[in-house]
Amino acid sequence: MSDRERTDGGTVDAKSEMPFGVPTWVGAVTPLILLAIVVAGFLLATPFAGLETGEAPPDVSITHTSLPNDETIVLHVTNNGPNQVTVSQVHVNDAYWDFTLYAGGEETETLGSMESGRIVVPYHWTSGWDIHTKIVLDNGATFGHTIPAPAVNPGLTGDLIGLLAVIGLFVGVIPVVLGMLWFPVMQRMSVRALHGTLMFAIGVLAFLAFDAGFEAFELAEQIPGAYEGSLLVVLGILSALLLIQAVSKWNADRVSPLGLAYLVALSIGLHNLAEGLAIGSSIALGKVSLGAFLVIGFMIHNVTEGPAVVAPVADGKRPSLAHFAALGLIAGAPVIFGGWIGSVAFSPTLGALFLAIGVGAILQVNWEIGTMIRDQGSLGTATNVFAFLLGLVIMYATDLLVAL
C-alpha cells in the first residue's frame, strides 16, 4: 500500500482517496460525462422555446483583402453572428457589381455561424486610388471596408521571395549581427558597467514590448468580433510568458547565461517575425516605399538589439562562433519569414497573435535578466536606472526614423 504525505505532516492512504475502489481516471472523467448529459438534456428540453425573442443582429467582418491583379478584388469575410447570413449584393465605389462567394472550397451564397469565406469581385481598379467596398445582406444590413491606395498583389512570386529576403537581411539579420560586434568591448567592462549594459538590454526589450503591445491591441480592433481580439492578445501574451518560463526552468532552477542569450534572441526574433508580417503585407498592398532611407531607418533601429542578445554572456567564457551565428539568425532571420507570410496570408488575427506572443516572451526574458542582475548585485543603482532609460530613449529615437 502506497502512502503520500498530507500538508499537515500526516499520511493518506492512496487507495482510500477514491470511494468504492473506483480508478482515479474514472473519477476524473465522470464530471465531464455528467456535464455532457446535462447540456444535452437542456438542449433537448428547449426551455426557451415558448418565449418570443428577436433574432440577434447580423455581424459580418471584412477581415482583409487581396488583389491578385488589377481586374479582381477579393474580400475575405467572416460571419461573427450565431445565425446564417446571405450575401445579396456587393457595392464597389458607388456601384453594385457581380460577385462570387466561396466558403468551404465551394461556391455559395451563405455563410454559417463563425464561417469564413472569400468574395471575388471582377472589378477594374486603378493603382493608388482608394477602393471603397460594401457587402449587403439579404436583410439590408451593410458592412464596409476601404482599401487605401492599393497595388497589385500577385502572391508569393520568385521575385518577391528574393526581394523580401534581401530586405529581411538588411532590416533584421545585418543590424543584429552588427550590434553583436560590441561583444569584445562588453567583455572588458567592469561588473558595474556590465550590469548597466544588461539594464540597457532590458530597456531595449521593454520598448519592443510596449511597441508590440500597442500594435497588437490596435490590430485586435480589426479582428472579427467572434474571435474576441483583445482577449486573444491577452491569451497570446500570457501563453508566451508561461511557455518561456517553463522552457527556462526545464533543466535547472535558473537558466544559464548562454540559455538566457538564446531566450533574448528568441523574444527579439518573435518581435521581428511580426515586424516582417507588417512589411510583407504592406509591400503586397503597395503601401510601403522601399527607399534607402527606410531601410537605413530600420537598420539603425534594430542594431541596438545586438548588444541585448549577447549581454547575458559577456561576463564569462566567450561562446563559440556557431553560437553567435545561431543567436544572430534566431533574432534577425524571422523578419524574412514574416515578410513571406505577410505577403500572401496576412490577417489582423495573425498579426495580433504574433505580436502578443512576442510581448509575452520579452516580459519573461526581462524578468530573467533582472533576476541575474539582482543575484549579482542591485537592480536599483543609479547606473542601472540610467542605462534602462537610455535603452528606452534610444529605441524611441531610432523608431522615429522608421516612422518618417
Are residues 225 and 113 in contact, defined by beta-carbon separation less than 8 angstroms?
A: no
Out of 134-138, 158-162, 391-395, which region has the weakest mean confidence (pLDDT)? 158-162
H-helix or E-strand containing 348? helix 348-376
Out of 55-64, 84-93, 117-126, 258-267, which region has the weakest mean confidence (pLDDT)? 55-64
Average pLDDT for residues 44-68, to the nearest whole number? 74
pLDDT in tens, 332-362: 999 898 888 877 766 777 778 888 888 888 8
pLDDT in tens, 87-115: 999 999 989 999 999 998 889 989 988 88
Average pLDDT for residues 173-194, to the nearest whole number? 88
Q: Can you tell me the distance from the alpha carbon of 351 to that of 273, in angstroms, rounded to the nearest whole number? A: 9
How high is the pLDDT of residue 267?
A: 84
DSSP label of 227: G
How high is the pLDDT of residue 133?
A: 93
Average pLDDT for residues 317-332, to the nearest whole number? 91
Q: Give the orientation angle of helix 229-248 with respect to helix 191-220, to 10 degrees.
A: 150
Average pLDDT for residues 275-301, to the nearest whole number? 65
Average pLDDT for residues 188-208, to the nearest whole number? 87
pLDDT at 268 over 80: yes
DSSP state letters, 115-179 = -EEEEEEE----TTS-EEEEEEETTS-EEEEEE-S------S-HHHHHHHHHHHIIIIIHHHHHH
How high is the pLDDT of residue 2?
A: 47
pLDDT at 67 over 50: yes
How high is the pLDDT of residue 393?
A: 92
Cell of 3: 502512502
Question: 151 vs 237, which has greater pLDDT?
Answer: 237
Question: 119 vs 316, which has greater pLDDT?
Answer: 119
Q: Can you tell me the distance from the alpha carbon of 323 to that of 327, in angstroms, rounded to the nearest whole number? A: 6
Cell of 387: 542605462
Query: How many CB atoms within 10 Å of residue 31?
Result: 9
Are residues 264 and 328 in contact, defined by beta-carbon separation less than 8 angstroms?
A: no
Provide the H-helix boundaries in 188-304.
Answer: 191-220, 229-248, 257-284, 292-303
H-helix or E-strand containing 393? helix 382-403
How high is the pLDDT of residue 100?
A: 94
Out of 18-27, 107-116, 146-155, 231-240, which region has the weakest mean confidence (pLDDT)? 146-155
pLDDT band at 243 (very low <50, low <70, confident <90, very high): confident
The fold of 60-147 is: Immunoglobulin-like (2.60.40)
Nearest to 205 by CA among 391, 66, 383: 391
Average pLDDT for residues 140-145, to the nearest whole number? 90
Backbone dihedral angles phi then psi of residue 397, each to the nearest 5 degrees: -65, -45
How high is the pLDDT of residue 1?
A: 43
> What single letter denotes the amino acid at residue 195?
H
H-helix or E-strand containing 350? helix 348-376
Angle at alpha carbon of residue 179, lines to 175 and 181, rounded to 5°: 125
**Arithmetic mean of pLDDT over the chain:** 81
Domain ranges of the chain: 3-45, 60-147, 158-403
